[in-house]
Amino acid sequence: MKVRAAVLRQPNEPIRVEVLDLAPPQSGEVLVKVVAAGVCHSDWHLVTGDTQHPTPVVLGHEGSGIVESVGAGVTSVKLGDHVALNWAPACGGCFYCRKSRPNLCSTYVGPIWAGTLLDGTTRLTQNGSPVYHYCALACFAEYAVVPEVCCVTVPPSLPFEVAAVIGCAVTTGVGSVLNTAGVEPASSVVVYGAGGVGLSTIMGARLADAGPIIAVDPLASRREAALDLGATHAIVPGEDAVAAIRDLTEGRGADYVFEAIGIPSVQEESLAATRPGGTIVFSGLSPMGSRTNLSGAILVRQEKTVKGSYYGTANPPEDFRRYAEWYEQGRLPLDRLVSQTYRIDEINEAFADMLQGTTRRGVVLMG
């Protein structure tokens, strides 16, 4: 079938909407009619070259839609099901899956980074040449063929925009609080960066009954969004930021500091913003090859813990449904995270708005 999709031909070039050929789903695969796809900085890392990936590639890894057809052997979803797409498929049998860490599944790392589906081939082509899939999803497209294990059914009552952002920003941010860090009630929390992941982290901290919750972001619009979604304070980064954090945490520094941007200098500042015995969590993706300089002397003498959080240490099938339930119960205001929608032809505008900070989370609607 012919589909329109957002294609990156080479890093540092504009994203182009092109017509591609999409082959039918093979065994263990699902054809999804994409309805909504979130605009995430992880896709932009491919545009800048900070993340290296085979090209040409169809971007998009935060999506939702409706099951259109299924390949042989598919049993977990059926025609007409509403699904949120999971970009970290798990095999269920490798060392990490057996250790209840499916987000670190080692079986599918190779094909995903190669830009293929799980059998090592693509379903996308143009004039007979392969076009690669980002994160096995490639959901900036009208339709996507994805592995069955990437489909998580969600209630038909769940808005597609909300289902899409659960697929990445929410699971990464909320999960970093609840799963990676295990934030306790009344803990002090700092979140560096109030983009989609940072705002989701703030919502997670509020859900955990943390406080104070301090957002740090240079943009007034994002500081305002942070306060709207659960932060108790919002401050401007700079030389006085750590002093301000200490003033708000009885002079100690925060119990938990989340760096949701992926900037090494900010990660380094996170160490100073954390109290002795506290925990720093990095959930933002740093450029490949970058380095972060953290003082071993401080880590040892002050017993500070540094953790990485990949996809919110999630078990996606369980966590997606849990976050959807909490949204429908009014405990997670995920609809307020989505502030702007776009058509696929406006994909470059959507990323420009993300970079300028004029959106909380933009979502491309494929309809």
> Could you tell me the pTM of the whole model?
0.95
CATH 3.40.50.720 domain range(s) in the chain: 169-311
Has residue 106 got a pLDDT over 90? yes
Residues in the chain: 367
pLDDT of residue 288: 87
Q: Which of 238, 216, 236, 203 is nearest to 361 (CA)?
A: 203
Average pLDDT rounded to a whole number, residues 58-74: 98
pLDDT of residue 220: 95
The amino acid at residue 67 is V
Distance CA 100, CA 178 (A): 15
Average pLDDT rounded to a whole number, residues 164-169: 97
pLDDT of residue 211: 96
Class of domain 169-311: alpha beta
Query: Is the bond into 147 cis (omega within 30 degrees of 0)?
Result: no
pLDDT of residue 367: 77
pLDDT of residue 72: 97
Q: What CATH number is given for 2-153+337-365 in this structure?
A: 3.90.180.10
Q: Which of 321, 344, 248, 300 is nearest to 86 (CA)?
A: 321
pLDDT of residue 57: 98
CATH 3.90.180.10 domain range(s) in the chain: 2-153+337-365
